[in-house]
Amino acid sequence: MWTVLKFDKKALALLKEDLSLKLGKNLKIYIPKLRVQKYKNNKLINKEVNLLGDYLFCFHENLSNKKINESLKFSRGLKCILKGFESSQEDIRSFVEKCKSSECENGFVSRDFFNLELNRTYKFSSGPFTDKIFQIINFQRNRIKILMGNIETTINRKKFLYIPV
């Protein structure tokens, strides 16, 4: 059974250790990550960002047991366990599968994860236009026609990362 946990970013290693002690060997922890490239002082810096912030997915068959869930509440590094995960198993499983299927060979979620829509606003998260907001005007084969302010240009679809605003 999948569950969603909110964790303290500084104590992630402690949380993983506590969960493996309390649940056993068949524990699966999944944190979808995104690689963001930014320019700082004219240097390109790669940064890892958790796609869901300080949330992670945890899978173990004994998570349906209420006593085990109660004992997990006092794990080091755990802020809270989101309620309602029992009824949302299909949604959680499909989201995790979508994240895993769009991962590149380095384990980062690729740009194929985000569904692009016309006339919607996005923000660049990599490349020279980092943190710039644009609107999609038209799709071409491997290119996207965008509008940034008053400037209309075309970019390569696979070259940059962008997120919806």
pLDDT at 44 over 80: no
Mean predicted confidence (pLDDT) in 107-115: 76
Based on its alpha-carbon atoms, the radius of gyration of the chain, rounded to whole angstroms, reads 19
Q: What's the pLDDT score for residue 139?
A: 86
Range in 17-31, 103-117, 126-140 with the lowest mean pLDDT:
103-117
Residues 76 and 137 occupy one common structural domain: no
Residues 134 and 86 occupy one common structural domain: no
Domain limit, last residue, from 87, 110, 133: 110
pLDDT at 8 over 90: yes
Residues 134 and 67 occupy one common structural domain: no
Domain limit, last residue, from 110, 125, 148: 110
Q: What's the pLDDT score for residue 112?
A: 67
Q: What's the domain count of the chain?
A: 2
Tell me which residue range forms the domain holding 133: 114-164
Say what the pTM is.
Answer: 0.75
Which amino acid is present at 40? K
The token duo for 5 is 């946990």
pLDDT at 15 over 90: yes
Residues 32 and 105 occupy one common structural domain: yes
Q: Report the mean per-residue pLDDT for the chain.
A: 87
HSE-CB of 150 using CA atoms within 13 angstroms? 0
Residues 96 and 124 occupy one common structural domain: no
Q: What's the pLDDT score for residue 105?
A: 83
Alpha-carbon distance of 38 to 117, in angstroms, equals 24
pLDDT at 114 over 80: no
Residues 106 and 120 occupy one common structural domain: no
Residues 134 and 153 occupy one common structural domain: yes
Instruction: Look up the CATH number of the domain holding residue 157.
Output: 2.30.30
Which amino acid is present at 163? I
pLDDT at 158 over 90: no
Domain limit, last residue, from 69, 85, 110: 110
pLDDT at 164 over 90: no
Residues 87 and 134 occupy one common structural domain: no
Residues 119 and 105 occupy one common structural domain: no
pLDDT at 115 over 80: no
Residues 29 and 80 occupy one common structural domain: yes
The pLDDT tens digits for 57-107 are 999 988 888 888 888 888 999 999 988 888 889 999 999 999 998 888 888
Residues 96 and 21 occupy one common structural domain: yes
Residues 17 and 95 occupy one common structural domain: yes
